[in-house]
Structure 1
Amino acid sequence: MTDASLPRLRILHVFRAPLGGLFRHVLDLARGQAERGHDVGIFCDATTGGSRADDVFAELSDKLTLGITRVPMSRYPSLTDARAQMSTIALRSRLAPDVVHCHGSKGGLYGRLPAIANPWRRYITAYTPHGGSFNYKPGGTEHKIYMTVERLLEGATDMFLFESRFIVGRFEAHIGHLPRTDHRIVLNGISDPEFEPIDHTDATFDLVYLGELRSAKGIDTLIDALSLLKSRDALTPRILIVGSGPDEAALRALTVSRGIADQCVFEPPGPIRRALSRAHVMVVPSRAESLPYVILEAAAAAQPLVSTNVGGINEIYGPRHRDRLIPTNDPAVLADAIRRILATPDAERRAEAADLAQHVRQHFRLDSMIDGVLTAYRDALARRARG
């Protein structure tokens, strides 16, 4: 697929960690833009992502004509920021991109800070927050600092590209107004092969959790819910916990103290469809999300789901399905939801999942996401060219 009738763009994606949904979003955009004939490059951290990121970048290297540049970056403010900032300035000068598309808080800093001193620049800056600093608890010191930075960088942003209505609302609530420059909502998208229903013929687990192992994901609530099912209802569903993160040791210990360790199997991150095929129901107990790819992918593949109602998840479910979402931080409610879905006949579970998959197919398409982002770039470039 190409945009042969339109000018070829030079696009540089800037972000920090090649991990999670943000990384998936950038990869989808970069691949799609390259397939449409554009020159695309990536600038990100060299110290995270592990072998999976190495493998993905090796596969992409011959498709991205502006290359893949990786330098050390830190998650929190440090002296590393200055070195990474100088690297991105040098790279931008050498590549002369038409578009610097910044992703997440750190990407937003590295890509937009130099633009403050260059109001007459030829290139445009686009910014997709992906939650990032907008997910910090309001009122705290960190949140105040990050919101101050966001206000400072707003004037250096030609186009805000929000992946959910939820993050638009967060921006307005925490900054005090909608972006004063152009902004669009371009929903994350799923490719056609991902709508193939999951085959559960060989499933040996009742439940599966997929994601980072940290507090914001609410896995402790899930463990408490499983403990309650065992003590209250004499139910012991087996669960596959797939992921990694800073709280892994504490969560393993919690399964022991709650008496459910023999029901839980921890495994490192791997292909999502393979993990989904090993369990009949996916559980998402999150406390905070933006528009999570893990739910988009599972919903598209007609995987039965139990999920909390946080962030943009209700946008994925839509008005016909969002009443199935449950409140967060409540083990009893989560336990009841798990008990109900496991007691539901398989045919009925699959029918509900297929109905949600159809909704996702109508509203979250990969081609629509890529085309929407490219249209936003061109509109911002035309506006900048007019002065």
Structure 2
Amino acid sequence: MSDRRSLRIVHCFRAPVGGIFRHVRDLVDAQVKAGHQVGVVCDASTGGDFEETLLASMRDKLALGLKRIAMQRQIGPGDLIAAVRTRSTFKAMQPDILHGHGAKGGIYARLSGSLLRLSGKRVARFYSPHGGSLHYAPSAMAGRVIFRIERFMEGMTDRIIFVSAFERDTYISKVGAPRCTSALIYNGLADGEFEPVQPDTNTADFLFIGELRTLKGPDLFIDALAGAGRMGGPPPTAVMVGDGGERDQLVRQAEAAGIGAQIRFLPPMQARAAFRLARTVVIPSRAEALPYIVLEALAAGRPVIVSRVGGIPEIVGDHSAALVQPDAQALARKMAAVLGDPAAHAAALPNPGQIRQRFSIGGMATRLENEYFAALNE
């Protein structure tokens, strides 16, 4: 721990799934190790058995507790109830830092932090968008409303923390240049995640791992797998790891495309365990900020095919052979090319050492801690 005082830090986010949940777990581990007291507030209804296990593993680390409150995805009347409940929870936790992640977490944390400041408490209010509301189109009514809310909330914000240059630039183009202090801090991985993972024998050709929802492109993955199979050679095989409301629809899509027997659908599991199931990891997302799964795969020495969206080019390089447009036909061509020469594709990717230099948990946590103390000292 540094020679600075121990902080009381509370992280608030909606859904304990995916990249935001991973990010918060990493921060909890690093901040507890640094001697800080940490608490977490998140949605009470999101997540399955896998996520419940991860939440349970956090409880003993959280000196300020783990509190789950109903938080709906869409804007609605339930937000008012959630705001009242989160404010009461935050007040009891007595934080020095309220750090909201994602649109809903960011609103609840900053509103409550501002009310605590009105009552004389010194609370620093932090917000990390993680993509979230920035995925909306500024021409759409929902986008216009959300971006106005984002602009208004800057008056209740001490720091905005962006996880990629793409996210920062998107915020500027859709919301405007931040009128509060902001910083760019990349996501990071732990030392153990740079240990190589070797695929099992008789593995599948391709792996999809993530939430089974449109934003992550699982439908593109299925159509591309079918398309790659029509380009010659043995029918490619795949494993899809994850869960979500679109799972049954995706199973039917695979059957309708005539490739149901070529895909195994498996429940959520740790990424490094999933990496053993296939030779190449495919991330066909339609939108991202800076996805952990790309970092994890490359750190483990696994080849990837990734969408040219969000901050992904900041990880692999803007001219990387791994990049492809989130389009089923383009993805199919890339998958067929990788099947034709997997060694050449793997050799063109960043190696684990290059990933470690830019994306470590230690660097991420230290930079964020510096921002916490800077905000408290202003």
Alignment of 1:246 with 2:241, yes or no, is: no
Does structure 1 retain, via aligned residues, the 8 Å contact 2:16–2:42? yes
Does structure 1 retain, via aligned residues, the 8 Å contact 2:231–2:336? no
Q: CA deviation at 1:6?
A: 0.8
Q: 1:59 to 1:217 in 2, by over 3 A?
A: closer
Q: Tell me the number of residue pairs that the alignment of Structure 1 and Structure 2 aligns.
A: 376
Q: 2:359 aligns with which of 358, 361, 364?
A: 364
Q: 1:335 to 1:54 in 2, by over 3 A?
A: closer
For 1:278 and 1:324, how far apart are their aligned partners in 2?
Answer: 20
Does structure 1 retain, via aligned residues, the 8 Å contact 2:90–2:112? no
For 2:163 and 2:151, how far apart are their aligned partners in 1?
Answer: 19
Aligned partner letter, 1:127:
Y
Q: CA deviation at 1:88?
A: 1.6
Alignment of 1:78 with 2:73, yes or no, is: no
Does structure 2 retain, via aligned residues, the 8 Å contact 1:203–1:280? no
Does structure 1 retain, via aligned residues, the 8 Å contact 2:113–2:123? no
SS at match of 1:155: helix
Question: What is the aligned partner in structure 1 of residue 370 from structure 2?
Answer: 375
- CA-based RMSD: 1.7
Q: CA deviation at 1:237?
A: 0.6
Question: What is the aligned partner in structure 1 of residue 144 from structure 2?
Answer: 144
Does structure 1 retain, via aligned residues, the 8 Å contact 2:240–2:263? yes
For 2:114 and 2:7, how far apart are their aligned partners in 1?
Answer: 22
Q: CA deviation at 1:95?
A: 2.1
Alignment map for 1:107-118 (pairs within 5 Å): 107-116=105-114, 118=117
Does structure 2 retain, via aligned residues, the 8 Å contact 1:98–1:122? yes
Cα offsets for 1:148-175 (capped at 9, x unmatched): 1111101100011111111101110111
Question: What is the aligned partner in structure 1 of residue 63 from structure 2?
Answer: 65
For 1:213 and 1:138, how far apart are their aligned partners in 2?
Answer: 26
Does structure 2 retain, via aligned residues, the 8 Å contact 1:285–1:328? yes
Question: What is the aligned partner in structure 1 of residue 13 from structure 2?
Answer: 15
Q: 1:229 to 1:323 in 2, by over 3 A?
A: closer
Question: What is the aligned partner in structure 2 of residue 103 from structure 1?
Answer: 101
Cα offsets for 1:243-298 (capped at 9, x unmatched): 11222122111112211111111111111111111111111111111100111100
Aligned partner letter, 1:141:
M
The sequence identity of aligned pairs, in percent, is 38
> Unpaired runs of 5+ in structure 1?
none
Does structure 1 retain, via aligned residues, the 8 Å contact 2:321–2:348? no
Q: 1:30 to 1:280 in 2, by over 3 A?
A: same
For 1:203 and 1:373, how far apart are their aligned partners in 2?
Answer: 43
Question: What is the aligned partner in structure 2 of residue 309 from structure 1?
Answer: 308
For 2:130 and 2:244, how far apart are their aligned partners in 1?
Answer: 19
**TM-score computed with the length of structure 2 as normaliser:** 0.95
For 1:203 and 1:312, how far apart are their aligned partners in 2?
Answer: 33
For 2:339 and 2:127, how far apart are their aligned partners in 1?
Answer: 41
Q: CA deviation at 1:352?
A: 3.9
SS at match of 1:53: helix
Q: 1:234 to 1:138 in 2, by over 3 A?
A: farther
Question: What is the aligned partner in structure 1 of residue 289 from structure 2?
Answer: 290
Alignment of 1:344 with 2:350, yes or no, is: no
Does structure 1 retain, via aligned residues, the 8 Å contact 2:320–2:348? no
Q: CA deviation at 1:333?
A: 2.0
> Unpaired runs of 5+ in structure 2?
none
Alignment map for 1:226-245 (pairs within 5 Å): 226-245=225-244
Q: CA deviation at 1:109?
A: 1.1
Aligned partner letter, 1:75:
R
Greater displacement, 83-92 / 17-26: 83-92
Q: CA deviation at 1:222?
A: 2.2
Q: CA deviation at 1:343?
A: 1.7
Q: CA deviation at 1:116?
A: 4.7
Q: CA deviation at 1:97?
A: 0.9
Aligned partner letter, 1:109:
I
Greater displacement, 200-209 / 15-24: 200-209
For 1:345 and 1:131, how far apart are their aligned partners in 2?
Answer: 32
